[in-house]
Amino acid sequence: MNPDAIIQQKWGDLLAQAVTQPGLILKAYSAFHGYSLGNQLAALLQCARHGIEPGPINTYKGWLDTGRQVRKGEKAIWLCMPLTRKKTNGETGEDELYITAFVWKPRWFVLAQTEGEAVPMPETPDWDAERALATLGIEQIPFIHTNGNVQGYAKISQVAVSPLAELPHKTLCHELAHVVLGHTTESDINDSEQTPMSLREVEAEAIALLVCESLGLAGSEYCRGYIQNWIEGEVIPDKSAQKIFGAVDRILKAGGTEKPKQTQPNPDYSLE
């Protein structure tokens, strides 16, 4: 068991902190956007716990390759990474890697824990909604709902946002979440003030919150209040938290300008 208390938390606990602490996600994304959202949060919380200034992160060897040295006595950051094995594909006969489990490993250090050659600061990638839609294979269709309270809706692989929506980007993220999570394969979704609180709605709104906060977009306070009304006295289940983190990663990457770095631990949280 990892001795660092921050890693003893489950994904649901990390998510609870993300949806209750304003600014936490933006700070995590700004510092560690090359990693999965769960690892971003884990890294940021460990930095806060140990008084480390958040910043670029790398392995010990990775820092050596850039001309920097980790200072003696520095405590490594724990991140979640997949364990893989080779398996021969029965159809192609080629060896393929597949994930067997996810484990926490203390292998990373933040820039502030090192000294040596100057390194360029990574730029936060731009995010474009049209690029995200195209990459995810989701079509935005004209809004035709007659209920004035409806902000947006999703069906199968399509989303629509009301031209009167108070926060259209937040609504778009919410509807994208329904499609990415597979909610729309079960039934059509309509979102209005009268929509009953349910786990499905909370999952979508949590994703909207995390995406908006990552990108510095308005609307997170509305999302936070909506979610808190549902989880008061309760905790979002770990299984839902895994789905939420995974969906946020997909949406952010789909609309981003940077390609994911395959060498970094970036688990697919939806795996069971």
Whether the pLDDT of residue 11 is over 80: the answer is no
In angstroms, rounded to a whole number, what is the distance separating the alpha carbons of residues 240 and 234? 13
Q: pLDDT of 172-209, one tens digit each?
A: 999 999 999 988 886 555 565 433 346 888 899 999 99
> What is residue 45's DSSP assignment?
H
CA dist., res. 59 & res. 81, Å (int): 13
Local structure of residue 125 (DSSP, 8 states): P
| Confidence grade of residue 263 (pLDDT, cut at 50, 70, 90) | very low
Q: What is the pLDDT of residue 152?
A: 93
DSSP 122: P
Q: How far is CA 197 from CA 96, 123, 193, 203, in A?
A: 43, 38, 10, 11
For residue 35, what pLDDT is reported?
Answer: 86
Segments making up each domain of the chain, as ranges: 5-116, 129-255
- At 17, list the tokens: 């902190």
pLDDT score for 184: 84
- Please give the Cα distance from 208 to 224 (Å, whole number): 10
Convert the pLDDT of each residue in 124-168 to its tens digit: 778 999 999 999 999 999 999 877 788 999 999 999 999 988 899
- The pTM (predicted TM-score) of the whole model is 0.75
pLDDT digits (tens, 9 = 90+) for 219-239: 888 888 778 776 666 777 888
- Give the closest residue to 242 by CA, choosing from 272, 208, 201: 272
Contacts of 137 (CB under 8 A, 6+ apart): 157
Tell me the pairing of strands 114-116 and 95-110: unpaired
How many C-beta atoms surround the C-beta of residue 158 within 10 A?
16
